[in-house]
Each structure stands twice: as C-alpha cells, then as structure tokens.
Chains A and B, each alone.
Chain A
Amino acid sequence: QQQVKQSPQSLIVQKGGISIINCAYENTAFDYFPWYQQFPGKGPALLIAIRPDVSEKKEGRFTISFNKSAKQFSLHIMDSQPGDSATYFCAASKGSNYQLIWGAGTKLIIKP
C-alpha cells in the first residue's frame, strides 16, 4: 500500500524526442506527487509536482499527467536534450509532512 512503482528502470531517447516515465501507486490517501531529478554526485532536486485535483501540470518542457482513477501519473519531457540525462524519481506523500515514498528511479540518457 505504501509503494510507488516506477518504470522503466532505464530509458534511452534521441535528442529532440519525448521521454516518458510512468509511476503507479496504491494508497489513495496520497495527495502530493512530485518528480525529482538527480545528477550524479548530487542530491535530488524538485522538478515539478502535482496534486490529485489537477489532471495535468506543465512547466516548460516538463509535464505531469495524472490519472486519479487509474492511480497513475507520468512525467513527459518534450524536446529532450542531452542536459536532461539524469535519474528521475517519482514520489508520493500524504498529509502536510514530507515523508515521501519514492519510486525506484529511472536512468534517462538522451543521445545527441
């Protein structure tokens, strides 16, 4: 019930393509769904986040799509660039604290 399942484990996308990473959760009490980006040797950094009352949120080239009934959410990176190569984590939490439950991560490689 506390798990967040993330796929794929790794992803290779050509420059300019669309990168799509998917996550699924079980606990319907989750009410906050952030995506984090992590470069090697660095801590995770918040990329974009969504709440379940919204089906989509877009910030620049990054979009979260949220399907409440399916308990799934996904990250889309449009016009993917080599600088987007990183590990991406989805996460979920409930309530106002930040006990985030993390997905396993997706290593994204953008080929020039």
Chain B
Amino acid sequence: EPEVTQTPSHQVTQMGQEVILRCVPISNHLYFYWYRQILGQKVEFLVSFYNNEISEKSEIFDDQFSVERPDGSNFTLKIRSTKLEDSAMYFCASRTREGRDSPLHFGNGTRLTVT
C-alpha cells in the first residue's frame, strides 16, 4: 500500500538554526498537510497546501514557518529560526481530493528536538 514517507525520522538542531523537514506524499494525492504533536499533547494543525499554494494555516504557522513543493514529489516544511518550543513530532499528511470521503494518510513523523 502506498505510504507517506518523511525524512529524517529524528532531527536535532540548535536554537536559532534553520531546519527543513521533508515529506514525500502518496503519488496521486493533491492535498498536503503538516501537523505537529508536542510530546504527550494533542495533534495540532499547521497548514494545508493545494495547487502550489497554502489554502489554510493555523495561528501556530507564523512567519518562521514556510512550506514548499519544490518538485513533483517532495513537500517540505521549513522553520527559519528554531525555538525550544518547536520541539515536537511533525507529521505530514496527504489525500487524493477534497471531501470527507477522501481520508488523510499520515507519515510516521519527524521528531524535531531543539536544544
């Protein structure tokens, strides 16, 4: 079964550094998402992306965050200047089309640790 793949599985970075989290969504999917999960807490929506532009973003997704689909396969989340509170599990997700009968498929996540 096709999967959403995320790399790296664990990223350690120093505060103030830039990080790029990478995702390869399922190949025929058109809608892409980033969510994050701070350890032991709820999953939080960050951003949705369709047709090469952001369609919706949360309050968490401030100017320090950006997303890009640089080619036909990768979908990246960049954090320009990481803060300690950015430490979390970041999940990429994708789906084929709009509508609730098109479920989200999640990757296994990237654990970001900011020291």
Interface string of A59-96 (1 = CB under 8 A from B): 00000000000000000000000000000010101001
User: With A102-B42, A105-B42 in contact, do A97 and B100 touch (Cβ < 8 Å)?
Assistant: no
**Contact indicator per residue, chain B 85-106, by CB within 8 Å of chain A (1) or not (0):** 0000001010100111001101
Given A99-B45, A103-B42, A104-B41, CB of A43 within 8 Å of CB of B107: yes
- Which residues of chain A have a CB within 8 Å of any CB of chain B? 32, 34, 41-46, 49, 51, 89, 91, 93, 96-105
Closest-CB distance, B38 to chain A (whole angstroms): 11
| A100 to B103 Cα, complex, angstroms | 12
Q: A96-B98, A98-B95, A98-B104 are in contact. Are A44 and B48 (CB under 8 A)?
A: no
Q: Are A51 and B58 in contact (CB under 8 A)?
A: no
Binary per-residue interface labels of chain B (31-60) against chain A in the complex, 1 for a CB within 8 Å, 0 otherwise: 101010000011111001000000110100
CA distance A102 to B58 in the complex (A): 13
Nearest A residue (CB) for B99: A96
CB-based A-B contact count at 8 angstroms: 55
A89/B106 contact (C-beta < 8 A), A49-B100, A98-B31, A98-B48 known: no
Known: A43-B93, A43-B109, A44-B91. A99 touches B104 (CB 8 A): no
Q: Is the CB of B103 within 8 A of A46?
A: yes
- Chain B residues with CB under 8 Å of chain A are 4, 31, 33, 35, 41-45, 48, 55-56, 58, 91, 93, 95, 98-100, 103-104, 106-109
Residue pairs across A and B with Cβ atoms less than 8 A apart, 16 shown, are A42-B109, A44-B43, A46-B103, A51-B100, A97-B55, A97-B56, A97-B98, A98-B31, A98-B33, A98-B93, A99-B48, A100-B35, A100-B43, A102-B44, A103-B42, A104-B41
